[in-house]
């Protein structure tokens, strides 16, 4: 009798242990429980069970989200399922994972659900460089832009995500949104994302500049050139193309304004500040434009003197020639009794002295014989002494 009782006790205890195990098993809890229980089972699953529970939860959400659309509890389960969705599942079948999480994204209006999907997509894309994820977010942003969807935290998050994982299509969509003021409240994140995408989208930006009018070029300057977050080489290359395009506009319209003159100067300064020597030929072409702007009063003596300094910084053999020729013109005016702007004369002499090319000897020497103020004559003599023979 005692033996039988002992066996029954052991069996009962075993049964209780098994029952207790099933009671705490997340999968059992998920199957038998309400939605709150399902959320808890996904959140509480240990590392070994987490992937399985997340996939099960995603399937449950997909199966029921059209039956109880935008239910708050189901949204909570969707967020828990997405946040715990395993990377291994994505790596093994990225297309299926994107389709499932994408269906949840579009199946809920809840911003928190959509943001959780974008967070997960960003994480996966950074680890696997999935072009499909970038394409998914691009498609959403383009549709939202075209539909003029009112900006929400979802659009803000999508813009932020493509900032780090986006491609040239992301750049095109974001630039169009900013240019057309689609989401005025999101101007700051749009500029930040465009800044981050500038280097990988430089070709697209240069094509855009080539098609731009002056107003759009001003916008491009403010976003990409007047922006310390972008590398100096990228800023200089953009400035070079803006300078080139603006000079084409001047040539085709045969008109110059103070606004255009200042814009040209601003781009030239970027080129000189970054020692962008490959723009030397362009700067030499600009010199004649700058002279006419100076003569018309669109730029000051000091500003034109800066142009001369910029040309010296980006020096080439041709830059020596144009400065020698210009000093010759200034000397001719002085010889006629017309005193040129001394700030400009001084800038030319200084540049020629710094360049040290012996071809400037004759014009510098002639300067010393003219009736310039003593300070200019002394500067010309000093420049002569610095020439390289």
Residue 193 near residue 164 (C-beta atoms within 8 A): no
SS3 of 388, please?
strand
Residue 131 neighbours by CB distance under 10 Å: 12
Give the global pTM. 0.85
Q: What is the 3-state secondary structure of 307-354? A: HHHHHHHCCCHHHHHHHHHHHHHHHHHHHCCCCCCHHHHHHHHHHHHH
Over residues 200-244, the pLDDT tens digits come to 999 999 999 999 999 999 999 999 999 999 999 999 999 999 999
Residue 334: name the closest of 291, 305, 363 by CA. Answer: 363
Using the 8-state DSSP alphabet, how is residue 386 labeled?
T
What's the pLDDT score for residue 344? 98
In Å, how far are 218, 259, 289, 348 from 292, measured between CA atoms? 22, 14, 5, 16
> CA dist 186 to 103, 110, 134, 139, Å?
26, 20, 20, 18
Calpha distance 281→106 (Å, rounded) = 53
Euclidean distance between CA atoms 83 and 77, whole angstroms:
10
Span 34-87, pLDDT tens digits = 788 888 888 887 777 878 889 999 999 999 999 998 899 999 999 999 999 999
Number of Cβ within 10 Å of residue 25's Cβ equals: 15
d(CA 75, CA 111): 10
Q: What is the pLDDT of residue 29?
A: 66
Q: Which of 155, 37, 254, 365 is nearest to 57 (CA)?
A: 37
Question: Pick from 309, 323, 306: which is nearest to 360 by CA?
Answer: 323
Q: Is the pLDDT of residue 117 over 50?
A: yes
pLDDT of residue 24: 61
Q: What is the pLDDT of residue 20?
A: 44
Phi, psi dihedrals of residue 37, rounded to the nearest 5°:
-65, -40
pLDDT at 38: 86
Residue keyed to tokens 């002085």: 334
Tens digit of each residue's pLDDT (9 = 90 or more) over 281-291? 999 999 999 99
**What is the per-residue pLDDT for 10?**
47
Cβ-contact 372, 379 below 8 angstroms: no
349 DSSP assignment: H
DSSP designation for 357:
B
- The confidence score (pLDDT) of residue 8 equals 45
Question: Token match 């601003």: residue?
Answer: 266
The tokens of 340 are what? 């040129």
Question: For position 15, what pLDDT does the model report?
Answer: 45
Cβ proximity of 174 and 194 under 8 Å: yes
Q: Is the CB of residue 189 less than 8 Å from the CB of residue 159?
A: yes
What is the rounded average pLDDT for all residues in the chain?
A: 90
Cβ atoms of 156 and 170 closer than 8 Å: no
Residue pair 84/50 in contact by the 8 Å Cβ criterion: yes
d(CA 90, CA 237): 39
Average pLDDT over residues 344-354: 97
Beta bridge partners, 357, equal: 388
- How does DSSP assign 226-239, residue by residue? S-TTS-HHHHHHHH
Average pLDDT over residues 242-259: 87
- Residue holding tokens 């399922």? 81
What one-character-per-residue DSSP string does 112-177 give? HHHHHHHHHHHHHHHHH--HHHHHHHHHHHHHHHHTTPPP-HHHHHHHHHHHHH--HHHHHHHHHH
Q: What percent of the chain has pLDDT over 70?
A: 92
Distances (CA, A) of 290 to 19, 120, 247, 256, 294: 89, 53, 11, 10, 6
């Amino acid at each position: 009798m005692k033996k039988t009782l002992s066996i029954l006790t052991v069996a009962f205890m075993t049964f209780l242990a098994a029952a207790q195990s099933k009671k705490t098993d997340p999968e059992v809890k998920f199957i038998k429980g309400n939605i709150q229980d399902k959320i808890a089972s996904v959140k509480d699953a240990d590392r070994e069970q987490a992937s399985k529970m997340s996939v099960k939860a995603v399937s449950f959400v997909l199966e029921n989200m059209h039956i109880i659309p935008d239910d708050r509890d189901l949204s909570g389960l969707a967020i828990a399922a997405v946040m715990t969705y395993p990377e291994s599942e994505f790596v093994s079948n990225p297309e299926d994972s994107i389709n499932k999480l994408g269906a949840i994204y579009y199946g809920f209006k809840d911003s928190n659900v959509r943001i959780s999907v974008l967070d997960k997509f960003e994480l996966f894309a950074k680890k696997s460089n999935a072009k499909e994820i970038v394409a998914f977010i691009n498609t959403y942003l383009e549709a939202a832009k075209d539909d003029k969807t009112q900006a929400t935290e979802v659009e803000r998050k999508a813009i932020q995500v493509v900032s780090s994982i986006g491609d040239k299509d992301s750049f095109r969509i974001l630039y169009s949104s900013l240019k057309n003021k689609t989401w005025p409240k999101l101007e700051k994140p749009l500029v930040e994302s465009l800044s981050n995408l500038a280097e990988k989208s430089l070709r697209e930006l240069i094509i855009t500049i080539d098609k731009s009018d002056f107003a759009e070029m001003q916008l491009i300057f403010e976003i990409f050139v007047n922006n310390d977050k972008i590398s100096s080489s990228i800023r200089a290359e953009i400035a070079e193309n803006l300078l080139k395009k603006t000079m084409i506009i001047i040539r085709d319209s045969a008109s110059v304004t103070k606004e255009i003159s200042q814009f040209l100067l601003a781009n030239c300064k970027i080129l000189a500040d970054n020692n962008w020597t490959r723009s030397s030929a362009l700067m030499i072409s600009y010199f004649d434009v700058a002279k006419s702007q100076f003569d018309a009063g669109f730029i000051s003596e000091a500003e034109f003197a800066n142009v001369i300094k910029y040309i010296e910084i980006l020096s080439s053999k041709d830059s020596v020639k144009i400065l020698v020729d210009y000093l010759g013109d200034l000397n001719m005016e002085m010889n006629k009794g017309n005193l040129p702007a001394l700030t400009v004369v001084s800038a030319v002499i200084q540049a020629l002295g710094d360049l040290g090319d012996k071809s400037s000897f004759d014009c510098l020497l002639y300067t010393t014989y003219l009736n310039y103020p003593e300070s200019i004559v002394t500067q010309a003599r000093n420049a002569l002494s610095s020439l390289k023979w």
